[in-house]
Amino acid sequence: MSRFTAPIAEQIWDMKYRLKEADGTALDTTVEDTWRRIARSLAEVEAEPKVWEDRFYGALEDFKYLPAGRITAGAGTARSVTLFNCFVMGTIPDSMGGIFEMLKEAALTMQQGGGIGYDFSTIRPKGAGVKGVAADASGPLSFMDVWDAMCRTIMSAGSRRGAMMATMRCDHPDIEDFIGAKADAARLRMFNLSVLVTDDFMEAVKTDGSWDLVFDGKVYRTVQARDLWNRVMRATYDYAEPGVIFIDRINQANNLSYVETIAATNPCGEQPLPPYGACLLGSINMARLVTDPFEDAAALDVDALNDLVATAVRMMDNVVDASRFPLEAQRAEAHAKRRIGLGVTGLADALLMLGLRYGSDEAARQTERWLHAIARAAYLASVQLAKEKGAFPLFDADKYLASGTMQMMDEDVRDAIREHGIRNALLTSIAPTGTISLYAGNVSSGIEPVFAYAYTRKVLQKDGTRTEEEVVDYAVQMWREKFGDWALPEYFVNAQTLAPLEHVKMQAAAQKWVDSSISKTINCPEDISFEAFKDVYMEAFETGCKGCTTYRPNDVTGSVLSVSEEKKADAPEVVTSSDEEPQQPHGDVIYMSEPLDRPKALEGATYKLKWPDSEHAIYLTINDIIVGGHRRPFEVFINSKNMEHFAWTVALTRMISAVFRRGGDVSFVVEELKAVFDPRGGAWVNGKYIPSILAAIGGVIEQHMIAIGFLAGEGMGLKSDPQAQVVNLSGGRGKACPSCGQYDMRMVEGCMTCGSCGHSKCG
């Protein structure tokens, strides 16, 4: 019997994690083979490998502990790939040679499958003098363009493109250009952007103080802090970037503040790292640890949690020794500090099983208790490893225990560390788990709320056809199995129905016991006011979060999920002014329930449409009827010698003609056709990009309507901008998934992720 609880879980495993030969022959026959491969590989560094292999297998079994994708896909394969998810690269020197040496290191890292983060604050601003060459500097953004081009050309391990994070300090002279970079839709597409915000800056924002933009001790300009903050807020309100990182808080709370300074994070922000730091990630599946779900006695099995955490910490510590590293500096950094990032997934599902509404005060308290328990168990497990294998090389008991995070740790844990040391300098982080949560049966992702309790997913078959299957959240599936088709209780809320400040509350509750950081997206409704939007970020700062990432669906970012819109048969729009009689917007538009009779003769025009790469042209004949002295389209005929087009052209001919003959404002036909995007890509026609052949047909019909006076001009009189608008919470449809072509890209944990196939920009 399969261990998978949903078809999508097995498909994700087969596509991303199953070990196969280059020709596609499967070496992992079952998911049990995958678990055994990982367990055996990570046990090889142990004195008793067979004993630990079985224990590791037990942790992996039934998706209780989920190593990050790099480990699941790469451990035990003998492939030259890193098992670390991502890296922060070295400090970029402010010299041409140093900059391009860093570019080379980035390329080598991405080649082995690592995402990278960089702080570009160390590069002199645009216009600054360059000694010895009588020239002005081009600035950090010009070099970010070079990094972006490099990333587009290098394929990561497993045929995935790498992800990158770029940060810049809030006092860098080019910070305003950095903030607005994503306004250009074609620029820096491979980067996530975040502003490093200091405590001094936030204080200046609150007091409406001035703010110096400085580089190398020179003040280039002085601005108002609140104006600069508003620019950050406006950009992320409009484009979902840049994110905000509270960098002083990160450094103050860092267990290793005595040996490192952090200025960058990994691509999704959950791992603030020093130069050449690496993130090693894994997640406890909270949904698998709840006993008696949906009953009065429902509870998390704390003993099972403690045991699972201890085993997971040991496995992750072994990855440090088992992994390859793209650069020697990365290997040295990882071995000196043995940093790991153990997190959770399925938290929202676990809360549902206890009858708790995500975002409520009680859910926040429960989250804090669970994360506290995980932190305790992880730190105590690392102390045990230190007793057995030694503390991390840079451990200094007094300095370590005086760090920000350790000062709030339980006294018995502090005493154990003081006496025995600790194996891993940092232990907890909450990473994006979009793909591994699907692999685990579609449990809720990370600490995010459930995104959608059920949705329809289109699956591409080997013959090129697509089938549809329902994808159901893990907790919802359990509810259905237990209670049948009863309606879900009111405490079943999802990401879109939560208030933004409830998201912040949950992030802050978790952050208290996470020594690194958290990847989380705070979903905001499209109609949230700008002032309320800014309040989200201020609340994140005030409640102890280390960063903040929001997502507001709009025309630029697209919606978070595509659903259909039911169009209403509203009364015709009437345009009036104070001194004119009401006028119809499109001549004498009439609304009828019965089709218009066809006269014996009609005037019309025939148009030739040549679609690139198509052998035969398409011919459109549009005939018009005269109503009230005005011409309006009455019927259309679409013909082509291409037999592949025959069925759909006949269907389109009949459907459009039927709509035209009903009368009324038929401009929506143009609107709907022009909104069709072909996932395989459109074409350039007469110097203009057309997203599909159906959109091209819509454009021809629109031009005919303009020619006969039915429309005043291109795009005029249409109810909405005809750019692939599919509605969800009044948002538009975003880009197609580059992997499966479905319009189901959504922002999850700070990263655009496909709900249909699990493809993620960030891996």
Give dist(CA 236, CA 190) in Å, integer.
17
Q: Is 268 a catalytic residue?
A: yes
Q: Is 623 a catalytic residue?
A: no
Question: Which of 266, 285, 318, 623 is the catalytic position?
Answer: 266
Peptide bond just before 738 cis, omega within 30 deg:
no
For 80, the token pair is: 């030259």
Give dist(CA 28, CA 44) in Å, integer.
19
- List the one residue out of 268, 234, 284 whose CA is nearest residue 549: 268
How far CA 160 is from CA of 81, 112, 154, 157, in Å, comes to 13, 10, 9, 6
Give dist(CA 543, CA 503) in Å, integer.
12
- 212-228 burial, b for 16+ CB within 10 Å, e for fewer? ebbbeeeebeebebbeb
For the beta carbon of residue 499, count every other beta carbon within 10 angstroms: 17
Chain centroid to Cα 567, Å, comes to 30
Give dist(CA 432, CA 206) in Å, integer.
32
Looking at the DSSP bridge assignments, the partners of residue 117 are: 88, 165
For 551, the token pair is: 């997502």
For 410, the token pair is: 């339980």
| Three-state DSSP state, 627 | strand
Question: Which of 268, 548, 754, 757 is the catalytic position?
Answer: 268
* Residue 576, Cβ density class (10 Å: 0-12 exposed, 13-18 middle, ≥19 buried): exposed
* Residue 280, Cβ density class (10 Å: 0-12 exposed, 13-18 middle, ≥19 buried): buried
- List the one residue out of 392, 265, 404 whose CA is nearest residue 339: 392
Give dist(CA 24, CA 26) in Å, integer.
6
Q: Tell me the helix, strand and coil percentages in the chain, rounded to 5.
A: 40, 20, 45
Give dist(CA 458, CA 470) in Å, integer.
9
φ, ψ (nearest 5 deg) of residue 649: -70, -40
N- to C-terminal Cα distance for the chain? 30
Measured N-to-C along each axis, helices 361-389 and 411-420 cross at an angle, to the nearest 10 degrees, of 20
| Three-state DSSP state, 228 | helix
| Three-state DSSP state, 711 | coil
Question: Which of 105, 270, 333, 502 is the catalytic position?
Answer: 270
Give dist(CA 657, CA 634) in Å, integer.
6
For the beta carbon of residue 387, count every other beta carbon within 10 angstroms: 15
Match 């700008």 to its residue by tokens: 530
| Helix/strand/coil (H/E/C) assignment for every residue in 517-555 | CECCCEECCCCCCHHHHHHHHHHHHHCCCCEECEECCEC
For 504, the token pair is: 């912040």
Q: Catalytic residue numbers?
A: 266, 268, 270
